[in-house]
């Protein structure tokens, strides 16, 4: 079931009792936040992604997240030229591996043709039958000039999504809230996801090496703590071309803000158990969502 986040706070306090009862009755499961060094080579990237998915499944993982730009990371103009092919092949790949490995998978961001020669940065959630569960087009675009001299202007080639980030209510995995990379700096997006019922938040990213060293982990922990939710954050790592370098450290963070798994700086994955009883326990012990004034 797909849920649209509420855009404004409700008149009544947010009540977690019924959701906690449902959550506590769910079973625990293993999730993986995949970490890749994607290049400007679609075939290479998809092969790398499947190799890591295979390794994760062999360890018992049921829910997998791939990072932003998992299918292509490199020259932006080349990406735009190849966007139609990347979009088709990315969607086909996600549906194929979901069925082949019997997993639910998030493709954390790939270019899908939009208007005026631009693209949407699209995240796609697929179930083990190859069925699309949720689709999100990134709303916050990274237009930033960093002190290290790198300039990022996503808006020159990417169209911001116009729909709220979705929540998919899964009986097996909890209520999965979608976001992408730069979104993590906007706490109101995650509060809207939580208000719509989310208790597991996806943050697939290609965080820059410069900003990641100071902000990545603390932002993930903040989003987990303030929303008393699990955070699954797949990541890009290493050198993608002569100018683009990603921070790495794909992570899974628990609702108390504890980092359960950190993939470091090499391609690989962060794997951890998502425990519904732990989620319900934290929300009982720290019921801050029920205490909101604004």
Containing 52, the helix (H) or strand (E) segment is helix 42-58
Q: Residue 10: its pLDDT value, please?
A: 41
CATH number at residue 210: 3.60.110.10
Looking at residue 26, its pLDDT comes to 80
For the chain, residues with pLDDT lower than 50 are 6-13
CB atoms within 10 A of CB 280: 23
Is residue 294, in this structure, part of any structural domain at all?
A: no
Reference 243, options 182, 117, 152, 176; nearest CA is 152
Q: Please report whether residue 104 resides in a domain.
A: yes
pLDDT of residue 19: 62
Residue 290 in any domain: the answer is no
| Count helices and strands in the chain by DSSP H and E runs | 7, 17
Number of residues assigned to the chain: 294
Q: How far apart are CA 279 and CA 173, in angstroms?
A: 12
Say if 174 falls within a structural domain: yes
Element (H, E) at 191: helix 187-195
Three-class SS of residue 9? Answer: coil
| Domain enclosing residue 240, as ranges | 2-285
Domain count along the chain: 1
> Residues 152, 144: contact at Cβ < 8 Å?
yes
Q: How far is CA 264 from CA 59, 69, 237, in A?
A: 18, 19, 9
Residue 113 counted as domain residue: yes
Judge contact between 121 and 109, C-beta under 8 A.
Answer: yes
Residue 277 falls inside a structural domain: yes
- Farthest-apart Cα atoms in the chain, separation: 53
Query: Is residue 229 one of the residues assigned to a domain?
Result: yes
The answer to whether position 291 is within a domain reads: no
Would you please indicate which residues are annotated as catalytic (active-site) residues? 68, 138, 181
């Amino acid at each position: 079931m797909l849920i649209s986040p509420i855009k404004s706070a409700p008149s009544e306090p947010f009540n977690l009792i019924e959701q906690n009862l449902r959550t506590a009755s769910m079973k625990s499961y293993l999730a993986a936040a995949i970490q890749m060094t994607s290049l400007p080579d679609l075939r290479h990237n998809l092969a790398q992604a499947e190799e890591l998915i295979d390794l994760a499944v062999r360890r018992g993982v049921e829910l997998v997240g791939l990072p932003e730009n998992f299918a292509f990371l490199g020259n932006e103009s080349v990406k735009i030229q190849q966007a139609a092919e990347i979009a088709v092949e990315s969607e086909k790949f996600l549906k194929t591996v979901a069925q082949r490995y019997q997993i639910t998978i998030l493709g954390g961001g790939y270019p899908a043709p939009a208007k005026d020669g631009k693209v949407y940065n699209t995240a796609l959630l697929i179930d083990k039958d190859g069925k699309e569960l949720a689709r999100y087009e990134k709303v916050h675009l990274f237009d930033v000039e960093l002190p290290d001299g790198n300039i990022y202007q996503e808006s020159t080639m990417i169209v911001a999504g116009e729909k709220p980030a979705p929540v998919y209510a899964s009986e097996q995995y909890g209520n999965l809230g979608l976001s992408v990379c730069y979104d993590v700096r906007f706490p109101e997006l995650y509060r809207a996801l939580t208000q719509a019922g989310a208790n597991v938040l996806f943050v697939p990213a290609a965080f820059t090496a410069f900003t990641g060293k100071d902000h990545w982990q603390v932002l993930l922990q903040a989003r987990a703590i303030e929303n008393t939710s699990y955070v699954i954050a797949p990541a890009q790592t290493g050198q993608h071309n002569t100018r683009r370098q990603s921070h790495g450290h794909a992570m899974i963070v628990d609702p108390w803000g504890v980092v359960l798994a950190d993939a470091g700086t090499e391609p690989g994955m962060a794997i951890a158990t998502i425990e519904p009883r732990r989620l319900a326990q934290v929300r009982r012990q720290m019921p801050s969502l029920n205490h909101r004034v604004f």
